[in-house]
Amino acid sequence: MNEIAHQKDVAQRVIKTLQKGGYVALYAGGCVRDELLGRIPKDYDIATDAYPEEVEALFPKTIPIGKAFGVVAVVDGKETVEVATFREEIGTLDGRHPETIIFSAAKEDALRRDFTINGMFYDPEKDQLHDYVHGQRDLDRKLISAIGNPEERFEEDHLRMLRAIRFAHILGFSLDPNTEAAIIKMAHLITNISAERIESELTRMLTDSIKPGDALKHLHKVGLLKFMLPEIVAMVGQEQPPQFHPEGDVFEHTCLMLNLMGQSTLENNNAFNARERAYTILLHDVGKPPTASMGPGTDGEQRIRFDGHASVGADMTDTILTRLKFPNKEKSHIVDSIRGHMRFMDVQKMRPSTLRKLIGAETFDLEMELHRLDCLGSHAMLDNYSFVQNYQEEMAGEPMLPEPWINGHDLMKIGIQEGRQIGAILKEAYDAQMENRFASGEELMSWIKSQHTNDV
């Protein structure tokens, strides 16, 4: 039995126990929506009229994870299921937390939730749907619609504006016009939300949407993007040389790549996670607007140039991801991949040692995928991509970055003094080794002696 199926069994047992105790107990929110859509829920939440203390009394092991809000986790073996008391929420303190909580009944609880498709309850014992907000209707209409007054829902929690866009693009739904109008009016309030919460929603949007690029365009359309990532908005209208980018401006190029990413069937994600890939693509050309200028191309004709955009973009990406509180390791992978993403232009001219270092780098798989999508999202020429793939196949029988034959101690033994010279000689020796210029470490050392010990 898989993990989610096991959690469903645990959740159903919790509901049975609550109902036998004389309480109302129902599946709530996202799991109901997903079951009705034929999707596999990520988890199962339960809503009940039992108070937290009454829930705790019914089960041998619980965790008061949000008792002030009526939320208790019931622990069953390795599984935990959240059980929340039906409640109303009155007022808002900070665009996220309510001023007052009042325990209530199912209908009142439904009315305080965000969107109609998330406001339904289901009784698995009676096979009965409880829908006080027309959620089933909006599922059938494929519509994301706020419950009640959209402005009131977004005032209660400003992050709901971002969630509305995410749900629309993950499910392939439309956004209710009144709900969208409220987002446009209130978009500036997203600046009151913490960077961590924004990053979490944005990441899920970029990694789970059917077409992440369309989701990004929607964020721009409703005005949220300029308050979250103004550096991305600067890409809009930034023209590119049509011979390399027939698809359009930098923003259009980026959105096209994100859509291609969403349709990708590659299975090489073991070397990088979905978040790293999404943000590498999102930000890979963020350095183009500030570096745009007119200058001669290879044919001597004047065209738009973006000299140094990879380096500038890497520095900007570091700033953006720091602002979004990214983990340092992931941030480093993304920044390094963006800084080096133009190197693929020269792979067919590279010395073997340089190419092997590129392929052997920790971020290579991420850079390779970025290059593939960069080509498909512009001129569609994959000759460099194919060249690298073929080279990898040719080298499959040996390590791309072998253990060096020569180290610093070896050089010092032949009289070379410690310092910068040792580093330069070691690099030279390692390049020679990877280019198969010598058959053994002994031959390589003899060559080093002939080249570098005359002046010692």
Give the C-alpha separation, 271 to 402, whole Å.
19
8 A C-beta contact, residue 344 and residue 329: no
Whether residue 431 has pLDDT greater than 50: yes
- Coil/strand/helix, residue 76: strand
Residue 48 parent element (H or E): strand 45-48
137-151 average pLDDT score: 98
Which of 356, 370, 429, 366 is CA-nearest to residue 399? 356
Q: Mind listing the pLDDT tens digit for each residue in 227-277?
A: 999 999 999 999 898 888 888 899 999 999 999 997 765 544 455 789 999
* pLDDT: which is higher, 266 or 389: 389
Q: Mind listing the pLDDT tens digit for each residue in 157-169?
A: 999 999 999 999 9
121-150 average pLDDT score: 97
Q: Mind listing the pLDDT tens digit for each residue in 328-361?
A: 999 999 999 999 999 999 999 999 999 999 999 9
Judging by DSSP bridges, how do beta strands 71-76 and 79-85 pair with one another?
Answer: antiparallel
Per-residue model confidence (pLDDT) at position 271:
55
CA distances (Å), origin 47, targets 60, 123, 152 = 19, 10, 23
Q: How confident is the model at residue 416 (pLDDT cuts 50, 70, 90)?
A: confident
* pLDDT: which is higher, 109 or 5: 109
- Give all domains of the chain, ordered by start, each with its CATH number: 1-136 (3.30.460.10), 142-228 (1.10.110.30), 238-400 (1.10.3210), 408-452 (no CATH)
Per-residue model confidence (pLDDT) at position 129:
98
Per-residue model confidence (pLDDT) at position 454:
61
Whether residue 29 has pLDDT greater than 60: yes
* pLDDT: which is higher, 2 or 215: 215
86-97 average pLDDT score: 77
8 A C-beta contact, residue 63 and residue 98: no
* pLDDT: which is higher, 367 or 417: 367
Per-residue model confidence (pLDDT) at position 93:
67
How does the average pLDDT of the chain come out, rounded?
A: 92
For residue 181, what are its two tokens?
A: 């109008």
For residue 324, what are its two tokens?
A: 């979004």
Q: Which residues contact 357 (CB under 8 A, 6 or more apart)?
A: 401, 434
8 A C-beta contact, residue 408 and residue 399: no
8 A C-beta contact, residue 64 and residue 72: yes
Lowest mean pLDDT among 26-35, 55-64, 92-101, 257-266: 92-101
Q: Mind listing the pLDDT tens digit for each residue in 300-321?
A: 788 889 999 999 999 999 999 9
Per-residue model confidence (pLDDT) at position 245:
85
Give the C-alpha separation, 275 to 277, whole Å.
5
8 A C-beta contact, residue 174 and residue 117: no
Give the C-alpha separation, 215 to 172, whole Å.
10
Instruction: Give the range with max mean pLDDT: 90-99, 362-371, 399-408.
Output: 362-371
Per-residue model confidence (pLDDT) at position 169:
98
Which of 364, 452, 361, 356 is CA-nearest to residue 406? 452
DSSP string of 358-377, one letter each residue: HHHSTTHHHHHHHHHHHHHT
Share of the chain above pLDDT 70, in %: 96
Q: How confident is the model at residue 192 (pLDDT cuts 50, 70, 90)?
A: very high
* pLDDT: which is higher, 455 or 230: 230
Whether residue 456 has pLDDT greater than 50: no
Q: How confident is the model at residue 59 (pLDDT cuts 50, 70, 90)?
A: very high
Per-residue model confidence (pLDDT) at position 94:
67
Share of the chain above pLDDT 90, in %: 76
86-104 average pLDDT score: 79
Which of 378, 231, 377 is CA-nearest to residue 314? 231
Give the C-alpha separation, 113 to 167, whole Å.
14
Whether residue 37 has pLDDT greater than 90: yes
